[in-house]
Structure 1
Amino acid sequence: MLIATAAAVALALAGCSGGDVAGADKPKASANFPKGSTMAKLAEAGTMTVGTKYDQPLFGLKGLDNQPTGFDVEVAKIIAEDLGIAAEEIKFIETNTKVRDEAVMSGKADMVVATYMITEDRQTRVTFAGPYYNAGTLTMALADNDKITGVESIGDKSVKVCGATGSADLDAIKSHMADPGAQLVLFDVYSKCADALRTGQVDAIAADSTILLGLASGSKGKFKIVGESYLDQLFGIGIKKGDVEFCKFINDTLTASVKDGRFAAAWKKTAGTVVAEVPAMPEFIPCK
Structure 2
Amino acid sequence: MAQITAAMVKELRDATGAGMMDCKNALTEADGDMEAAIDWLRAKGLSKAAKKASRVAAEGLVGVSVDGTVGAAVEVNSETDFVARNPEFQGLVTTVSSLAPAAGGDVDKLNSAEFPGAGKSVADKITELVGTIGENMSLRRAASVSVSNGIVASYVHNQVAPGVGKIGVLVAVETGADKAAAESFGKQVAMHVAAAAPLALTPEEISSDIVERERAVFTEQARESGKPDNIIEKMVEGRIRKFYEESVLLSQAFVINPDLSVAKAAEEAGKEAGGDMKITGFVRLQLGEGIEKEADDFAAEVAKAAGGA
**TM-score of the alignment, normalized to the shorter chain, above 0.5:** no
Rg comparison, structure with higher value: 2
Question: Which of the five TM-score ranges fits, normalised by the shorter chain?
Answer: under 0.3
Larger RCO, structures 1/2 (Cα 8 Å, 6+ apart): 1
Structure holding more helix per residue? 2
